[in-house]
Amino acid sequence: MTPSAPAAEARTLTIPITGGRIALLQTPGEVTENDFKFLQTYLTLMKDAIITGTVSPASSNEAI
């Protein structure tokens, strides 16, 4: 899956995390309940990659 350019109606959400840092989440203007559930699942699957900055074969996008 290749990310596409953000649409004009995209929203960028600023999420505060520890140490005064922030995470940014960019979403389309409309997010459905199914979209939100997908994001939750995807973040859980990508936890190791998000924390370490590397993707292991078990957590690659091909598993989705």
Q: Is residue 54 part of a domain?
A: yes
CA nearest to 11, candidates 26, 24, 33 = 26
Q: What is the domain range of residue 34? A: 11-63
Q: 22 falls in which pLDDT band (50, 70, 90)?
A: very high
Q: Are the C-beta atoms of 17 and 23 separated by less than 8 Å?
A: yes
Worst-scoring range by mean pLDDT, 1-5, 32-36, 53-57? 1-5
Q: 45 falls in which pLDDT band (50, 70, 90)?
A: very high
Q: Is residue 6 part of a domain?
A: no
Number of independent structural domains in the chain: 1
Backbone angles phi and psi of 32, in degrees to 5: -85, 170
- The whole-number pLDDT of residue 55 equals 76
Q: Is residue 44 part of a domain?
A: yes
Q: Is residue 52 part of a domain?
A: yes
Q: Is residue 5 part of a domain?
A: no
What SS3 class is residue 53? coil
Q: Are the C-beta atoms of 15 and 24 separated by less than 8 Å?
A: yes
Q: Is the pLDDT of residue 4 over 90?
A: no
Q: Is residue 3 part of a domain?
A: no
The pTM for the full model equals: 0.63
Q: Is residue 24 part of a domain?
A: yes
Q: Is the pLDDT of residue 61 over 60?
A: no
